[in-house]
Amino acid sequence: MRNITDRHQYILQKLRQDGRIDIPELIEEMNVSGVTIRKDLKLLEEKKLLFRTRGGASTKNPYAGERHINEKEFIQSDEKRAIAREALKLIGQNDSVIIGSGTTNFELAKILFPEKRLMVITPATRVTVELNGRPNIEMLQLGGIVQQTSAAAAGFFAERILEELACGVLFLGVDGIDLEHGVSVANIFEASLNKKMIELAQTVVVLADNSKFNRRGLGKICDLSKIDYIVTDSGLSTSIINKIERTGVKMIVAN
């Protein structure tokens, strides 16, 4: 496929289909050099038709910016509620959970009505307000500096409390999921706290709608190898789901 127009049309078609493309795959499928592919991607990015990423390209900006929780609440709201309903099933017989920050985690808190006693640990002030006083729920609010955009505590004091704890399931909110970079958030202080929370949880569950995939936040939390489940919505492509499952993560798709 030597014609530049044909190559560009092929690249854009693949992007529309999968949302992301990898340079090694394009080299094999188009029978051209890596140098040629990289030049093609650069030209297409200059025309604002794609975003170049490490080793490929994406239709979405791969770098997640930090948005206020009041703004994020109205983005993919139906998908977040569906994800929360699926995530609720993963609590099972555990008597303690951590509910992290983020709007999808808040949707989980809204529908959490356990039949037996459940200890809920959280850095998110909105989760605490929602669950405080609800039958069969005992709350532990992590302290520290409250981040304005997420209304959640982070920092040294919150991390110190976690050193004395253990829990069954961690529900983690993220800003980005990337095969190479792992899971990440836009706020580096929250990234550090999330790393601590992963260390004390028996099961780690990431709640993420389809807009979070093939993106990277400033603060890396961990590689995908440390995640047990990702609960997402039906808007995520089968191609991405299959690639993530090959890393060992169990994908749950909410309808």
> Residue 198 is which amino acid?
I
DSSP letter assigned to residue 113: -
Topology at the third CATH level for domain 69-254: Rossmann fold (3.40.50)
Q: What is the pTM of this model?
A: 0.73
Average pLDDT per 10 consecutive residues for the chain, totaling 255 residues: 82 85 88 89 84 79 58 72 96 94 95 96 95 96 85 87 92 93 90 94 96 88 96 94 96 95
pLDDT for the residue 71: 57
Segments making up each domain of the chain, as ranges: 4-58, 69-254
Kindly report the CATH number that applies to the domain delimited by 4-58.
1.10.10.10
pLDDT for the residue 64: 53
pLDDT for the residue 226: 96
pLDDT for the residue 84: 97
pLDDT for the residue 69: 57
- The residue whose two tokens read 């890596």 is 34
pLDDT for the residue 61: 67
pLDDT for the residue 1: 56
pLDDT for the residue 2: 65
Q: How far is CA 185 from CA 7, 11, 111, 233, 251, in A?
A: 34, 29, 24, 19, 20
Q: 3-class DSSP state for residue 201?
A: strand
Maximum separation of any 2 CA atoms in the chain, in Å: 67
pLDDT for the residue 148: 79
